[in-house]
């Protein structure tokens, strides 16, 4: 019901997209089974990413819904973006 691919324009290394196979405009248009499949696949991807890169210590997990929110591809998808502690430290150290 869903598949995962690496983002063509990743925000961070190993940025992954989780996409329902059925065409729906956004995640709110998906049904409960599709959302469950997306969530289960996200768990598998999270584990695989952690095995591939031990520096990953957190994730952003979400979806841009609608043009105003930055949605550019109008087929539902969820971003799984690996985060690393050194990224947070670099962001915190930046001057305003």
What global pTM score does this model have? 0.87
How is the beta sheet containing 56-62 ordered, strand by strand?
A: 2-6, 16-20, 78-84, 56-62
Residue 23 designated active-site: no
pLDDT, mean over the chain: 92
Read off the pLDDT of residues 17-30 as tens digits, 9 standing for 90 and up: 999 999 999 999 99
Active-site residue (options: 15, 67, 75, 77) = 77
Return the CATH number at 77.
Answer: 3.30.428.10
Task: Tell me how many domains the chain contains.
Answer: 1
Its domain, for residue 48, covers 2-93
Query: Do residues 92 and 83 touch, judged by C-beta distance below 8 A?
Result: no
Q: Tell whether the torsion through CA atoms of 82, 14, 11 and 17 is positive or negative.
A: negative
pLDDT tops 70 at residue 93? no
Task: Round to whole Å and give the CA distance between 35 and 78.
Answer: 10
């Amino acid at each position: 019901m869903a598949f995962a691919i690496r983002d063509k324009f990743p925000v961070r290394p190993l940025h992954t997209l989780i996409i329902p196979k059925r065409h729906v405009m956004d995640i709110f248009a998906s049904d409960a089974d599709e959302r469950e499949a997306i969530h289960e696949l996200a768990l598998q991807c999270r584990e695989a990413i952690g095995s591939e890169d031990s520096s990953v210590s957190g994730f952003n997990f979400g979806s841009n819904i609608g043009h105003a929110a930055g949605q550019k591809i109008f087929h539902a998808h969820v971003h799984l973006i690996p985060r690393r502690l050194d990224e947070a430290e670099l962001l915190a150290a930046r001057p305003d």
